[in-house]
Structure 1
Amino acid sequence: MVLSLVACSGGKEKESSEGTKEGSGSGKTVGVAMPTQSSERWIKDGDNMKKQLEDLGYKVDLQYAEDDVQAQVSQIENLLASGVDCLVVAAVDSSALVNALAQAKSAGIPVIAYDRLLMDTDAVSYYATFDNKGVGTAIGKYVEENMDLANTKEAYTFELFMGSPDDNNAVMLYEGIMEVIQPYIDKGTLICKSGQTSFEKSNTLRWDQQTAMKRCEDILSTYYADEKLDIAFSAFDGLSYGIKAACEGAGYKVGEDWPMITGQDAELMAIKNIISGSQTMSIAKDTRVLAEKCVTMVEAVLNDAEPEINDTEQYDNGKLVVPSYLCTPEAVDKDNYKEILVDTGYYTEEEISSDSE
């Protein structure tokens, strides 16, 4: 799988008689509600969205809720009260946003769901995301291929560290992983000593690093006192950092008995950990591409046009099947990170080689 960087059609900029930039968004304001700045990934999303919209002439009001559900509700209500023309939302917990989004619909303000599906609302027009089940499939396939699960005579221990139960993406990612590894669990090639293989038992509220670390510490001390953990299926780089810390605390050594640790988002710290050997892989999700697709959706709803869509079946939010564009994720490790992340300009060599985190 290769990340597509194909340009999308959008509004053209022009120079006004005063020499200032004008575009299709001139005179219009887009409210962008992001979940948190605690993850590098969401900062990039916000920055990319703001830049691309401003390049088209839109004013952008970008808000971060710092994973506070009520804060995001208030931010969205304030954006609506300020008279934004369109609303882009990456939800902390979409179930809490139903009433605020109903206000948007009543006011005729279109809503675009960004990377997290807005559930139980008919106010959403489109959804821009990555192939969330595909992320899980890519993680599962990476482990399958690199541990040679189809041919090995050995049995490997594993544990699951999945995403937040209030995020539909986390469920789809879990389903993608399990679709790949369930046959190996049934065969006895993969053994989960804690028995925590359901999403309900393996999820991590708010994708929180400290929560993942504490749970990993408990699992290692309870189930792995006499046997080593071989594979940690982590759904997000932030969880991977917590797993890393727990493994270090339990005496695991990189290069000796260190487990395979997966991840998602290819954060800068994760890439440094991959190079040092304390994380095995991550999933690259080019936020420039995702922002670009979302911007085309904003353009469409504000100009009575149709954006590019490639999925009209998967994303049923309980009220409607939301027309979606799915960008393609890609597994990265120490062998291909330069090609995927440096050669495309996502990171520079200097950023990756820097000691600062």
Structure 2
Amino acid sequence: MNKRFTLLSAWVMTILLIACTPDEQIKEVALPPEAESKSLEDIKIGFSMDTLQEDRWFKDRELFVEAAEKAGVEVEVTVANGDDVKQVWQTEKMISEGIDVLVVVPHNAESMAAIVERAHDAGIKVLSYDRLVRNAEVDLYLSYDNEQVGILQATVMTELVPEGNYVYLGGAETDYNAHLMKQGVFKVLKPYIDKGDITVVFNQWTKDWVPEVAKANMETALEVNHQQIDAVIAGNDATAGAAIEALAAYDLAGSIPVAGQDADLAGVQRIVNGTQNLTMYKSIDDLSERAVELAIKLALNEEIQEDRTINNGKINVPSILLPPVPVDRTNIKETVIADGFHQKKDIYQ
């Protein structure tokens, strides 16, 4: 009887398999994804960076590697030095050598779209770190709320200077974050502009975030406006510092409010010295640790709960945005010093 039952069961299973569609049969016999069996020791993260020119990017690299080592995963870091072709080549090499997840800080938000596609073709997920890759099916975007950076910059500056001539020195036009910051700045300035209280007399991008370009732009703004400038909002602390150099040539450094962002050491020192009024602190410690944590989850195909989505021109990218913190002379101790981002002795040297 047992033999007859076994034969009948085999016959029934055969009939069921024949009745299934090909796709259903494949699902029935498919092996679990390789990622599900990975351990942390098996994971290799590729971290593609645009540049180390600014002080903050050195910190990003150090803290990212430190967080990866603490988590027990391998990480390979490449730096493109602002070269699109080099960054594409470096990331293609990492993909071909078998990374499990790609974390990328794009130099050019548009040109890195092809790399996202190549990574996906190789079964590798992509996390946009701090800067969003445009027109690509990015798996996750992690950054600070860059529009909020601009909103906070402009809010503080309009409290200091509610009327007058403003200069806006944006970041690199190829950096989508620069567009988001500008969007935030002008969202706040618009009512003042509409009332005629504020006039933006100069508004220019800074190619590749190069400080010398920002300085030349500020010099032009001063010349064409006969030094009649009342406030400067800059894309980061390096461009703010360049603007202050241009102002110093006219003995205006310290008399015209200047806002930057990134809380670079030089920027915080200028706040103490009175030539810069504001910077925006974005804890790189939090950002790098969260990036490693999320990269591991992507590599393991684990669920990630995003805060919101941001459209990058192709899809609504799942995004996690951390809050920035304004820093002026009143809260340096409670922010960058308390977090160990800068040492008190270095700031007040």
Equivalent position amino acid for 2:221 in 1 = I
Q: Structure 1 runs of 4+ off > 6 angstroms?
A: none
Q: CA deviation at 1:291?
A: 1.3
Query: By percentage of residues, which structure has more helix?
Result: 2
8 Å CA contact 2:109–2:176 kept in 1: the answer is: no
Superposed CA offset, 1:229-253 (max 9, x none): 1100112111101101111112325
- Return the match for 1:134 from 148, 152, 170: 148
* Ranges in structure 2 where 5+ consecutive residues have no aligned partner: 1-37
**Bigger radius of gyration:** 2
Contact 1:217 1:250 (8 Å CA) reproduced: no
CA distance in 2, matches of 1:128, 1:24: 24
Q: How does 1:1-357 map to 2 (within 5 A)?
A: 24-122=39-137, 124-147=138-161, 149=162, 155-192=163-200, 194=201, 196-197=202-203, 202-225=204-227, 228-254=228-254, 258-312=255-309, 315-354=310-349
Deviation string 1:305-328 (CA, Å, 9 cap, x unpaired) is 12242112xx11122111010000
Structure 2 counterpart SS, 1:96: coil
What do the CA deviations read for 1:99-122 (whole angstroms, capped 9, x no partner)?
A: 222211111011110011111112
Amino acid at match of 1:287: I
Instruction: Name the amino acid aligned to 1:111.
Output: V
Q: Distance in 1 between matches of 2:295 and 2:266?
A: 32
Shift in Å at residue 54 of structure 1? Answer: 1.4
Task: Count residues with an aligned counterpart.
Answer: 312
Structure 1 regions of 5+ residues with no counterpart?
1-22, 150-154
TM-score by length of 2: 0.86
Which amino acid is 2:276 matched to?
Q
Query: Structure 1 176/26 Cα, relative in aligned 2: closer, same or farther at 3 Å?
Result: same
> 1:190 and 1:89, CA in 2 relative to 1: closer, same or farther beyond 3 A?
same
Offset of residue 205 of structure 1: 1.6
Q: Displacement of 1:180 after TM fit?
A: 0.7
TM (norm. structure 1) is 0.84
Q: Distance in 1 between matches of 2:146 and 2:113?
A: 22
Shift of 1:349: 1.0
RMSD between aligned alpha carbons? 1.5
Q: 1:286 offset after TM fit, Å? A: 0.3
* Partners of 1:324 and 1:293 in 2: CA distance: 12
Distance 1:344 1:47 in 2: 16
In structure 1, C-alpha distance between the alignment counterparts of 2:141 and 2:336, rounded to whole Å? 25
Shift of 1:27: 2.4
**Residue 146 of structure 1: CA displacement?**
2.9
Letter in 1 for 2:172: S
Q: Secondary structure at 1:318's aligned position in 2? A: coil
Q: Which amino acid aligns with 1:274?
A: I
Aligned equivalents of 2:139, 2:176: Cα separation in 1: 17
Sequence identity percentage? 28
User: Aligned partners of 2:155 and 2:136: how far apart in 1?
Assistant: 34
Shift in alpha-carbon separation, 1:185–1:26, aligned structure 2, 3 A: same
1:3 corresponds to which residue?
none
